[in-house]
């Protein structure tokens, strides 16, 4: 884990040095050029780092000790807050696996293309959701199929 974090830090340092401060991928560039891939790699690595730092803070607060609220209502409220925090961390743990998968797709040259149709996902969608694996149309079709099978 420590070597992966230091490797990510080295990659981030290299990428940041190559960008002008306000760079954002645009449609004027070649789709998924090296510069755009570096931009998304940087975005994903920074997102992953922020999730790790937030989870470290959660772990620290959990290790600080059990809830010792004298009032039952206060204790119940604290336990509910902790439950919400733990569910949030679980969702973020799943998000980290999606981030890792997106980083692998960048390395394999598959990032930015729909896994269903092979069409470009689009820069605006990737900027909004860097872990996207499908075009908007393919995602909508997938969700419709999912809803129909759930209703059966």
- Domains of the chain, CATH where assigned: 2-111 (1.20.120.910)
Q: State both tokens at 45.
A: 């690595």
User: What is the Cα–Cα distance from 32 to 3, expressed in whole angstroms?
Assistant: 28
pTM of the model: 0.75
pLDDT digits (tens, 9 = 90+) for 42-98: 899 999 988 888 877 777 766 665 566 777 787 788 778 778 888 888 888 899 999
User: What is the Cα–Cα distance from 129 to 115, expressed in whole angstroms?
Assistant: 15
Mean pLDDT of 7-14: 65
- Residue 120: strand pairing partners: 113
């Amino acid at each position: 884990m420590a070597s992966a974090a230091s490797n990510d830090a080295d990659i981030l340092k290299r990428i940041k040095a190559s960008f002008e401060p306000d760079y954002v991928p645009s449609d004027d560039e070649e789709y998924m050029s090296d510069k755009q891939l570096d931009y998304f790699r940087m975005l994903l690595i920074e997102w992953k780092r922020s999730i790790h730092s937030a989870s470290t803070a959660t772990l620290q607060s959990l290790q600080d000790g059990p809830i010792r609220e004298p009032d039952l209502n206060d204790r119940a409220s604290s336990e509910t807050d902790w439950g919400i925090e733990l569910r949030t961390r679980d969702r973020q743990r799943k998000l980290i696996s999606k981030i890792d998968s997106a980083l692998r797709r960048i390395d394999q040259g598959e990032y930015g293309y729909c896994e269903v149709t092979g069409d470009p996902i689009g820069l605006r969608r990737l900027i909004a959701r860097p872990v996207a694996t499908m075009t908007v149309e393919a995602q909508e079709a997938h969700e419709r199929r999912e809803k129909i099978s759930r209703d059966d």
